[in-house]
Amino acid sequence: MSQFTAQDHHYMTLAINLAANGMYTTTPNPNVGCVLVNNGEIVGQGYHKKAGEGHAEVNALAEAQDKAQGAVAYVTLEPCSHTGRTGPCAVALVEAGVSKVIAAMVDPNPAVSGKGLAILNQAGIETAFGLMQTQAEALNRGFLKRMRTGMPFIQCKLAASLDGKTALKNGDSKWITGPQARAQVQDYRSKSCAILTGADTILVDNAKMNVRYAELLEPPFPAEQLRQPIRVVVDSKHRLKPDLAFFQINSPIIILTTDLENNHHWPHYVQHLVVKELNGFVDLTDACQQLGKLGVNQLWLEAGHTLAGKFAELALVDEFIFYLAPKLIGASGQSLLQLPVLESMDQVYDLAIDEVSLIDSDLKIVASPKRV
């Protein structure tokens, strides 16, 4: 029999919904929500909005004020126990005099894991965890993976015709999919910590790879609150130049390369990140590990068939998002992914279909690799 009541589920649902409000802005921190309940009355609510600002618990306590005394706190993630840019939330809850804390899950961050609950228990505050853990984990797939493995959660977006072609033979691909599918891609980009592409995409399309907020069907915030994710580009051969459109937007850019090259004057927001070399190119596994160290939780991969294929071949992709347009391009078109030549069906890349939906007239398929 579950230790949690229907009311517990109700309040944790509210906390999870609150936490989701931060998914555009909290990077590199997790999305967290908190609801304070005293004698059946919600006395405080809060969510973490931005790194460096108040955590969910602190914001809820500020709203509740003295009504937090004796309240039950429902939190989507174990209250933190360490001091970073803000103080420890577990201590704040103790000082506020809450009677009980129910966390959806224990924080996988080694600096926290179990320590926040221990602080509460030592202060005589009852604790419990595991309520709606699956839903809470879904809020922070990137943060959880980075804490557990050091790697970001990588989503690979691919758009193609129904016969699996991404562009005409001459490279023309605007536009295979419709405006609603493209708007959804902008939403995915805006929720990511970083967007990764290859030098070929920048050179062939003169792509900017930024979030085009004007295309979103429902922009999440007023324009002054919006941010651009870090834009990351793989440039093993130093082919990119500062005059490209990609570099004209004043937002953080990381160029992944195997050695420093200083023949150009780069804008102040451009950083060169040297990673290991593999067969003359950037070692993508090392690159992802280094991005993880920089706090990248969620990495959005939007690249040509060569780079996307290499990510798939190396089993770096956690989730594929396919948009298939009701068009036929034919055998002369460019393929969806460049993968090694396979000799038998036992070698094919096996995927599990997680979602199928229609986005206007385009078919969307979300799939994840079946790990052996």
Residues 157-185: tens digit of each pLDDT? 999 999 989 888 877 777 889 999 999 99
**CATH code of the domain containing 322:** 3.40.430.10
Residues in CB range of 224: below 8 A, 6 or more apart:
none
Of the candidates 188, 187, 184, 206, which has an alpha carbon nearest to the alpha carbon of residue 298?
A: 188
Q: Is 80 annotated as a binding residue?
A: yes
Give the full edge-to-edge strand order of the sheet including 126-129: 41-47, 33-38, 72-75, 100-103, 126-129
In a domain, 346, yes or no: yes
Are 289 and 351 found together in one domain?
A: yes
Respond yes or no: is residue 57 known to be catalytic. Answer: yes
- Tens-digit pLDDT profile for residues 291-324: 999 999 999 999 999 999 999 999 999 999 999 9
Query: Structural domain tally of the chain?
Result: 2
Q: What is the largest CA-CA distance in the chain?
A: 70
Are 120 and 12 found together in one domain?
A: yes
Are 134 and 165 found together in one domain?
A: no
In a domain, 348, yes or no: yes
Which of 113, 139, 165 finishes a domain? 139
Contacts by 178-184 with C-beta closer than 8 Å and gap 24+?
178/325, 178/359, 178/360, 178/361, 178/362, 179/215, 179/360, 180/217, 180/359, 180/360, 180/362, 181/323, 181/325, 181/359, 181/360, 181/362, 181/364, 182/215, 183/215, 183/216, 183/217, 184/359, 184/364
Which of 139, 160, 189 finishes a domain? 139
Q: Does residue 133 surpass a pLDDT of 70? A: yes
**CATH code of the domain containing 78:** 3.40.140.10
Are 116 and 189 found together in one domain?
A: no
Q: Is 89 annotated as a binding residue?
A: yes
- Residues linked to residue 273 through DSSP beta bridges, in sequence order: 256
Are 135 and 206 found together in one domain?
A: no
Are 69 and 201 found together in one domain?
A: no
Are 24 and 127 found together in one domain?
A: yes
CB 57 within 8 A of CB 92: yes
Domain assignment of residue 270, given as a range? 145-369
224 pLDDT band (50/70/90 cuts)? Answer: low
In a domain, 1, yes or no: no
Q: Is 159 annotated as a binding residue?
A: yes
214 pLDDT band (50/70/90 cuts)? Answer: confident
Cα dihedral across residues 125, 126, 132, 133: positive or negative = positive
Query: How far is residue 170 from each of residues 11, 173, 174, 333, measured CA to CA in Å?
Result: 55, 9, 12, 8
Which of 102, 119, 139 finishes a domain? 139
Are 221 and 79 found together in one domain?
A: no
CB 299 within 8 A of CB 132: no
* Pairwise CA distance, residues 2 & 11, whole Å: 16
Are 115 and 200 found together in one domain?
A: no
Q: What is the pLDDT of residue 174?
A: 76
Tokens of 75: 């939190």
Which of 59-68, 100-109, 262-271, 284-293 is predicted with the least confidence, judged by mean pLDDT? 262-271
Are 230 and 317 found together in one domain?
A: yes
Question: pTM of the prediction?
Answer: 0.91
Cα dihedral across residues 189, 197, 335, 167: positive or negative = positive
| DSSP string for residues in 164-192 | SEEE-TT---TTSS-HHHHHHHHHHHHHS
Tokens of 221: 């915030």
Q: Is 302 annotated as a binding residue?
A: yes
Q: Is 205 annotated as a binding residue?
A: yes
Are 223 and 362 found together in one domain?
A: yes
* Pairwise CA distance, residues 23 & 140, whole Å: 9
Query: Given 57, 277, 319, 355, which residue is catalytic?
Result: 57
Q: Is 259 annotated as a binding residue?
A: no
- Report the chain's mean pLDDT, rounded to a whole number: 91
In a domain, 253, yes or no: yes
Are 120 and 56 found together in one domain?
A: yes
